[in-house]
Amino acid sequence: MGERRRASFDLYDPLLARAAWSRITEPGDQVAGALVAHLGAADSLAWLYEVVDDPHRLALGALAGRDERPAGDRLVRAVERWRGRLPGLDPARELGAFGRIGGRLVIPEDPRWPTALDDLGAAAPLALWVRGDDDLAALSTRSLALVGARACTDYGRHVAADLAVGLVDRRFTVVSGGAYGIDAAAHRGALAAAGRTVAFLAGGADRLYPAGNTDLLRAVLEEGSVVSEVPPGSVPSRVRFLHRNRLIAAFSGATVVVEAAWRSGALSTATHAAVLLRPVGAVPGPVTSMASGGCHRLLRDAKAVCVTDAAEAAELGGSAGADAVTAQEGRHEPQDGLDEVGRRLWDAPPVRAHAPVESVARTAGLGSQETLGGLGHLELVGLAEQSGGRWRRLGG
């Protein structure tokens, strides 16, 4: 109990408890997720303070008084890695500082929580630090992720922006990671169309990263949200970027990879989406472009469907009825709708001069009577013309 007395905040305040767990753990900590799901954020935090300096008690009965099961090795190791972040833990101060820059902590108990993230199970975030529009539930309801490589081509940048504009026109929230390249193009396209967009960061939401996208991310704050599961002041890292990708995939109704090389990190977002049974799309590029190799790999392995415009992307992430793509018809040709005889006869007469029936029949490979009857039909529908018993083709 000695360690518990050193807590500088109310352990049983749900908001403070969630903020504390956000600081104590790294993204995707499934042991913490399972513990919080089992005991609740407040009780699990109080338990942690009780056992952190009592390894003997932890080994014999980690959840004594609440659960009689002995602790497993995973839980023992988890407590070891959590204990180092307990000294100086002050979630009330962090929440106050974050609030002064217009931020808010959204937790699962809040009606603004995006319940789509709960599909991550024990790997779901314990809380989300949000700047901008904090109604994440509403933003997630009709949303689609556009992701891709930082080192993109002009083609990828153009396609990403064009898709974002089209999705905004169809009332979608555009979701991405705020990074250079495809992410930035997707956010810019959504903003240009005066739409909603959400950027998930791998570092703290108080630090707009990367620095080169600061102005862009400030604009995102005005029209959407900047979100992170790590607390203010946290520095982005490769592992945190990869864990961030699972949030983009879970939050969105579908994920479209716009441009990605063979080993692009954007493919991890597509993988997370597929595991969560979210639809995945990929935009094809030139077969000679290494920048599209990852997209082609997804298509070849049947892990994604081909997406070429905003209508197809919307069909992927929208409702089955309202967002279904209307079948596109090719160019109408004059001979469309003719039967086999009609098509052969339409090809047989000359275009400029008039030819006798026998010549037309010979060219078409038909008998004279069949040719005469067929030409009469073509004349009725405006595809042939007769002059003195001789015929020529009209309409092409």
115-130: per-residue pLDDT in tens? 999 999 999 999 999 9
**3 state DSSP class of 176:** strand
Q: What is the 3-state secondary structure (H, E, C) of the chain?
A: CHHHHCCCCCCCCHHHHHHHHHHHCCCCCHHHHHHHHHHCHHHHHHHHHHHCCCHHHHHHHCCCCCCCCCCCHHHHHHHHHHHCCCCCCCHHHHHHHHHHCCEEEECCCCCCCCHHHHHHHHHCCCCEEEEECCCHHHHHHCEEEEEECCCCCHHHHHHHHHHHHHHHHCCCEEEECCCCCHHHHHHHHHHHCCCCEEEECCCCCCCCCCHHHHHHHHHHHHHCEEEECCCCCCCCCHHHHHHHHHHHHHHCCCEEEEECCCCCCHHHHHHHHHHCCCCEEECCCCCCCHHHHHHHHHHHCCCCEECCCHHHHHHHHCCCCCCCCCCCCCCCCCCCCCCHHHHHHHHCCCCCCCEEHHHHHHHHCCCHHHHHHHHHHHHHCCCEEEECCEEEECCC
Torsion 245-320-164-285 (CA) sign: positive
Go through the domains of the chain in sequence order and give each one's CATH number: 2-94 (no CATH), 115-317 (3.40.50.450), 340-393 (1.10.10.10)
pLDDT digits (tens, 9 = 90+) for 336-349: 778 888 888 878 88
pLDDT, residue 3, reads 40
Which residue ranges in the chain fall short of pLDDT 70?
1-7, 54-72, 320-321, 323-332, 396
222-242: b (≥16 Cβ within 10 Å) or e: ebbbbbbbbbbebebeeebbb
Measured CA to CA, the distance from residue 186 to residue 192 in angstroms comes to 10
Amino acid of residue 250: A
pLDDT, residue 1, reads 40
With both helix axes pointing from N to C terminus, report the angle between 357-364 and 340-347 in degrees, rounded to the nearest 10.
120
Measured CA to CA, the distance from residue 355 to residue 385 in angstroms comes to 10
Nearest to 154 by CA among 37, 259, 21: 259
pLDDT, residue 321, reads 62
Name the one residue in this structure whose structure tokens are 């000359």. 350
